[in-house]
Amino acid sequence: MSDLKATLVDNLNSKEAVIGIVGLGYVGLPLMLRYNDIGYRVLGFDIDQEKVDKLNNGKSYIEHIPSEKVSNATKRAFKATTDFQRIVEVDAVILCVPTPLNKYREPDMSFVINTTDAIKPYLREGQVVSLESTTYPGTTEEELLPRMQESGLVVGESVFLVYSPEREDPGNTNFETRTIPKVVGGDTPACREVGVALYAPAIDKVVPVTSTKVAEMTKLLENIHRAVNIGLVNEMKIVADRMCIDIFEVVDAAATKPFGFTPYYPGPGLGGHCIPIDPFYLTWKAREYGLHTRFIELSGEVNRAMPEYVVGKLMDGLNDQSKALKGSRILVLGIAYKKNVDDMRESPSVEILELIAAKGAEVAYSDPHVSIFPKMREHYFELASVELTAQSLASYDAVVLATDHDRFDFNLIKAHAPLIIDSRGIYRDAADHIIKA
């Protein structure tokens, strides 16, 4: 074992190492809290000064992460900064930055590349860099490796390079950062060894794999599996609806089989930063090898069409009441991408709002987790969440149940909304004013 590697591994095992986390969002912030909880000094980096100031003042900006936890972390040697020169102070650099798609549904690697370019002048011997952002196989080797070695550092000898995909699931109370197994791939065997030493103290189970490419492909397969199966059940929902069959009853019945079936439930489309986006990283990379990923592309087509399907059901329901969508008042219930969180990334509810507004309706929303519609890169409404009362519900021509938050009073909604478009299967019993979508 080289002296640099041995020293770094020892420092990581003894918690003498300083952990640097770049990107303090839904992935980086829980990871910071975990390392801080177990006794590491953590330095957080972000380009958003407002976010950095909030964290340094002990305040969280993510609903499911209490400010108390952030405040406790600041008392235990956590500091956030926008100064990337301070990378030189840390022993481990963990990159947790976004990897979205551009308007052509191709990987937008600008966050990863720009962040790597920002840290590379300050990298030094004896550091490990770990990329956690979901990306296509080959990213770590093709984009990070050459940049890290520009100044004469040698990956695997003087510095170490790892890919370890994030597996956060905001709002899932059954799992936390510590209990979700961590896949770790290194650019070299020495890099992998350092990567295991980095994560083993913080994560209950570390799963080493033979390369960064294997680790990158592992994360894509996890999310492709989910996207394809959701696409399948969304397509089955449309078929079942034509046959006057409740697809939710079908899935529940199929789920009683103790082997060979995993239940996936349909909805108004796909949301979140992973499932709607990550599969297309492999689609894009596969073209380099002359391959077409037909399952991925087909499931993407089905899932992207679901918001229009929901709006079509809304139009049918209004037509049955001799009303047009244009000029109607429509309330969308839930604009977060899934229940019980404030995360709106890629939320199909937002597309539903836009489709309804584009057809001339007056739109509003209610979401107990999102009080004001935030400014997003591609979407914006000047709206605030509507309080649900018997009077407010009755004042709309229809409500579209897009996200099934537990804090919604579904009995109140059922009793007072004139027309309900249910895209989540909340209302299983038949009612004249409820349309399953």
Four-residue CA torsion sign, 96, 97, 102, 108: negative
CA atoms of 437 and 314, how far apart (whole Å): 8
Distance, C-alpha 229 to centroid of its chain: 18
What is the domain class of 3-209 according to CATH?
Answer: alpha beta
Distance, C-alpha 158 to centroid of its chain: 34
Q: Where are the domains of the chain?
A: 3-209, 220-286+289-301, 305-436
Q: Are 63 and 369 in contact (CB under 8 A)?
A: yes
Count CB neighbours of 210 within 10 A. Answer: 11
220 class by beta-carbon count within 10 Å (0-12 exposed, 13-18 middle, 19+ buried):
buried
What does each C-alpha distance from 174 to 169, 192, 222, 369 come to in angstroms?
10, 29, 18, 20
Whether 274 is a known active-site residue: answer yes
Q: What is the 3-state secondary structure (H, E, C) of the chain?
A: CCHHHHHHHHHHHHCCCEEEEECCCCCHHHHHHHHHHCCCEEEEECCCHHHHHHHHCCCCCCCCCCHHHHHHHHHCCEEEECCHHHHHHCCEEEECCCCCECCCCCECCHHHHHHHHHHHHHCCCCCEEEECCCCCCCHHHHHHHHHHCCCCCCECCCEEEEECCCCCCCCCCCCCHHHCCEEEEECCHHHHHHHHHHHCCCCCCEEEECCHHHHHHHHHHHHHHHHHHHHHHHHHHHHHHHCCCCHHHHHHHHCCCCCCCCCCCCCCCCCCCCCCCCHHHHHHHHHCCCCCCHHHHHHHHHHHCHHHHHHHHHHHHHHHCCCCCCCCEEEEECCCCCCCCCCCCCCHHHHHHHHHHHCCCEEEEECCCCCECCCCCCCCCCCECCCCCHHHHHCCCEEEECCCCCCCCHHHHHHHCCCEEECCCCCCCCCCCEEEC
Q: Are 383 and 396 in contact (CB under 8 A)?
A: no
305-436 belongs to which homologous superfamily?
Answer: NAD(P)-binding Rossmann-like Domain (3.40.50.720)
Same CATH topology for 3-209 and 220-286+289-301: the answer is: no
Select which of 96, 191, 244, 274 is catalytic.
Answer: 274
Per-residue tens of pLDDT for the chain, all 437 residues: 579 999 999 999 999 999 999 999 999 999 999 999 999 999 999 999 999 999 999 999 998 899 999 999 999 989 999 999 999 999 999 999 999 888 778 899 999 999 999 999 999 999 999 999 999 999 999 999 999 999 999 999 999 999 999 998 887 888 999 999 999 999 999 999 999 999 999 999 999 999 999 999 999 999 999 999 999 999 999 999 999 999 999 999 999 999 999 999 999 998 877 778 888 999 999 999 999 999 999 999 999 999 999 999 999 999 999 999 999 999 999 999 999 999 998 899 999 999 999 999 999 999 999 999 988 777 779 999 999 999 999 999 999 999 999 999 999 999 999 999 999 999 988 789 999 99
Q: Are 20 and 92 in contact (CB under 8 A)?
A: yes
CATH of domain 220-286+289-301: 1.10.1040.10
Give the predicted TM-score (pTM) of the model: 0.91
Q: How many CA atoms lie within 13 A of 340 on its CB side?
A: 8
CA atoms of 359 and 318, how far apart (whole Å): 13
First vs last C-alpha separation in the chain: 60
Q: Provide the pLDDT for residue 1.
A: 52
**318 Cβ partners below 8 Å, 6+ apart?**
324, 325, 328, 397, 398, 419
